[in-house]
């Protein structure tokens, strides 16, 4: 058993719901007890969908358990088919139904419905939401994509087209910025002269999935969702797929190069549709240099953010982690390249510990990291699901492509103290308006920090005293801007401890500063 308050991912059947809800003409019959319908509101409230997810639950109760939950499942399946007349159906069990072992797949087969019925095996006690989404999409593609064309016919068909044709795989319901990423990548492909055949699962019908094999190659936007299906399509239809996720300027350029290569298009002039490189070179951004940033999220977004933060913002990466165990190896490799050990965990308390210990100046993470950062008084931007309703915005806000880079520029920089403001804070440390108890302008009027209760202030002074801080050194420490004070304090204490100094003086503080800034 694992003690959990917050979970980064839902159970795997929620992943299956994300696929079913993304598509048209698919209906999911879920063998589940009363209460599992809570997941509907993720779609209707958080993503603000105007339709109920296409999911019917059997809603079995305790009194059904001894007798006939299988019959209940069959009846529910028949009723759902009659009512919704889908082109294809998904059947499966939620965690509780998995334990009662009714075999939805076998029961559905016996029902003999006139449409394809895909049985999902989603092990709820081992796997999670993204795995469930990937598996569901894979099973749908496997079942519905038409058989591979005859030898020769494919190669005869494909070059006959005037423009190359690709599919876009990965966007789902309840995906973080999937709607706008899709729009962005569609436009990018169009400007490269590449046509889009099928987009799946978002907006696709079962009939669309049958056409997947017609395209020349596949564009995989979210490997967590579409990676398994893309590999199967490669094996079955010989379709190559993209491996670069176009989040960030550098990644988008590589993505374009990869598309050109897959589509057999000659390299053209670079597309210059992003303001990020100029914004990042403009002098106001020089204060961003070396800002210490901690990154956590799903593997795709975390790795992309780590690359952008270091290569496009000039930050220093001090921590990188993911809750996506399926991609732990890739994330570890990226972390190692920065001399770090990746944090692979789904326990938010571990993430909180890591952030508290590293004292970064910026956290890039999920909704959970937003709250951790708020508690620790650190700036934060959201880069990955899980997210709350405000991160399904009305405005166009992709993460991918060149407009995505513009969006991310604004997103990462806003929580930081603006450059000029930071200089003022440094210059006028004791000034009445620019001292570090004054709230930065972008956070509104008032105190920056909660007024410290006398007891807490005494306790803080006591810990400083216990660590050997003299009164002068303590006063000097307070003059250091708040966003580096924690680091200065830790460095000084470490410096003093390493040299066996019992008292920390102003001299020690500056000796330590000189020592660590070499």
Partner 1 sequence: MTAVVHPAARADSVAGCADRPVLRERGQREVFCGLTGIVWLHRKIQDAFFLVVGSRTCAHLIQSAAGVMIFAEPRFATAVMEERDLAGLADANEELDRIVSRLVERRPDIKMLFLVGSCPSEVIKLDLSRAAARLSRRYAPDLRILNYSGSGIETTFTQGEDRCLAALVPELPAATTTPQLLVVGALADVVEDQFARLFAAMGLDDVRFLPPRQSRDLPPVGPGTRYLLAQPFLGETARALDERGAMHLPAPFPMGAEGTTKWLKAGADAFGVDPMRFRSATAAAEARARQALAAHRGSLEGRRIFFFPDSQLEIPLARMLSRELGMRLTEIGTPYLHRQHLAEELALLPEDVLLSEGQDVDRQLDRARAERPDLTVCGLGLANPLEAEGLTTKWSIELLFTPIQGYEQAGDLAALFARPFDRQTRLRV
Q: Which residues bind partner 1 (CB under 8 A)?
A: 1-7, 9-11, 13-14, 33-42, 44-45, 48-52, 56-62, 64-65, 75-76, 79, 83, 94-96, 99-100, 123-126, 128, 368, 371, 388
Give long-range contacts, CB 8 A cutoff, 24+ apart: 336-340: 338/306, 338/310
Nearest distance from residue 404's CB to partner 1, in Å? 28
Burial code (b: 16+ CB inside 10 Å, e: under 16) for 32-45 equals bbeebbebbebbee
CA separation for the pair 402, 181 (Å, rounded): 10
Give how far Cα 414 sits from Cα of 180, 282, 315, 411, 420, Å.
Answer: 21, 16, 14, 6, 13
Nearest distance from residue 484's CB to partner 1, in Å? 27
The H or E element that residue 296 is part of is strand 292-297
8 Å CB contact between 199 and 168: yes
Residue nearer to partner 1 on the CB measure, 27 or 291: 27
**Residues annotated as part of the active site:** 284
8 Å CB contact between 201 and 230: no
Nearest distance from residue 10's CB to partner 1, in Å? 4
Residue nearer to partner 1 on the CB measure, 96 or 435: 96
Residue nearer to partner 1 on the CB measure, 123 or 393: 123
Residue nearer to partner 1 on the CB measure, 3 or 427: 3
Sequence-ordered strand ranges (E) for 375-430: 379-382
Nearest distance from residue 353's CB to partner 1, in Å? 13
CA separation for the pair 21, 28 (Å, rounded): 9
Angular region, 152: left φ>0, alpha ψ -120 to 50, beta rest: left
CA separation for the pair 139, 118 (Å, rounded): 7
CA separation for the pair 23, 200 (Å, rounded): 8
Nearest distance from residue 27's CB to partner 1, in Å? 12
Nearest residue to 12 via CA among 132, 121, 97: 132
| Sheet with 55-57: strands ordered across | 55-57, 26-31, 88-93, 117-119
Nearest distance from residue 348's CB to partner 1, in Å? 10
Nearest distance from residue 388's CB to partner 1, in Å? 8
CA separation for the pair 382, 359 (Å, rounded): 18
DSSP letters, 335-372, are: HHHTT---EE-S-HHHHHHHHHHH--SEEEE-HHHHHH
Among all chains, which residue has been given the structure tokens 């003690």? 3
Nearest distance from residue 346's CB to partner 1, in Å? 10
Angle at 226 between CA 148 and CA 391, to 5 degrees: 150
């Amino acid at each position: 058993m694992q003690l959990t308050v917050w979970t980064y991912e839902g159970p795997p059947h929620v992943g299956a719901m994300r696929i079913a809800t993304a598509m048209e003409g698919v209906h999911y019959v879920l063998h589940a007890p009363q209460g599992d319908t809570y997941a509907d509101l993720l779609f209707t409230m958080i993503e603000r969908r105007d339709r109920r997810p296409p999911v019917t639950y059997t809603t079995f109760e305790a009194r059904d358990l001894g007798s006939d939950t299988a019959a209940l499942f069959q009846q529910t399946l028949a009723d759902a088919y009659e009512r919704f007349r889908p082109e294809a159906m998904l059947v499966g069990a939620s965690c509780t139904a998995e334990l009662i072992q009714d075999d939805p797949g076998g029961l559905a087969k016996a029902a003999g419905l006139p449409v394809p019925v895909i049985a999902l095996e989603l092990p709820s006690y081992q796997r999670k939401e993204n795995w469930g989404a990937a598996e569901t999409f894979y099973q749908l593609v496997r079942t519905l994509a038409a058989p591979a064309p005859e030898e020769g016919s494919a190669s005869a068909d494909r070059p006959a087209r005037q423009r190359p044709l690709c599919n876009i795989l990965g966007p789902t319901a309840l995906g973080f910025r999937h709607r706008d990423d899709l729009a962005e990548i569609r436009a990018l492909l169009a400007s490269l002269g590449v046509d889009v055949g099928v987009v799946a699962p978002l907006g696709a019908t079962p009939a669309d999935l049958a056409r997947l094999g017609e395209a020349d190659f596949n564009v995989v936007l979210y490997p967590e969702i579409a990676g398994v299906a893309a590999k199967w399509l490669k094996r079955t239809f010989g379709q190559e797929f993209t491996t670069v996720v176009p989040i960030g300027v550098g990644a988008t350029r590589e993505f374009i190069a990869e598309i050109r290569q897959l589509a057999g298009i000659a390299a053209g002039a670079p597309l210059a549709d992003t303001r990020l490189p100029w914004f990042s070179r403009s002098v106001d951004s020089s204060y961003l240099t070396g800002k210490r940033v901690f990154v956590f999220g799903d593997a795709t977004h975390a790795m992309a953010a780590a690359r952008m933060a270091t290569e496009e913002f000039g930050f220093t990466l001090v921590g990188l982690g993911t809750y996506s165990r399926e991609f732990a190896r890739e994330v570890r490799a990226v972390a190692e390249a920065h001399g770090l050990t990746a944090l692979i965990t789904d326990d938010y308390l571990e993430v909180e510990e890591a952030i508290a210990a590293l004292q970064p100046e910026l956290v890039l993470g999920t909704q959970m990291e937003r709250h951790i950062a708020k508690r620790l008084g650190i700036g934060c931007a959201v880069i990955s699901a899980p997210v709350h309703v405000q991160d399904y915005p009305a405005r166009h806000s992709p993460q991918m492509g060149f407009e995505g880079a513009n969006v991310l520029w604004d997103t990462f920089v806003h929580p930081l103290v603006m450059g000029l403001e930071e200089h003022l804070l440094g210059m006028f440390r004791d000034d009445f308006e620019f001292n570090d108890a004054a709230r930065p302008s972008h956070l509104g009027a008032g105190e920056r920090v909660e007024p410290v209760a006398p007891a807490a202030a005494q306790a803080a002074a006591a810990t400083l005293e216990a660590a050997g801080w003299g009164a002068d050194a303590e006063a000097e420490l307070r003059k250091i801007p708040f966003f580096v004070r924690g680091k200065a304090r830790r460095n000084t204490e470490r410096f003093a401890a390493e040299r066996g100094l019992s008292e920390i003086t102003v001299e020690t503080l500056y000796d330590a500063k000189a020592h660590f800034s070499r």
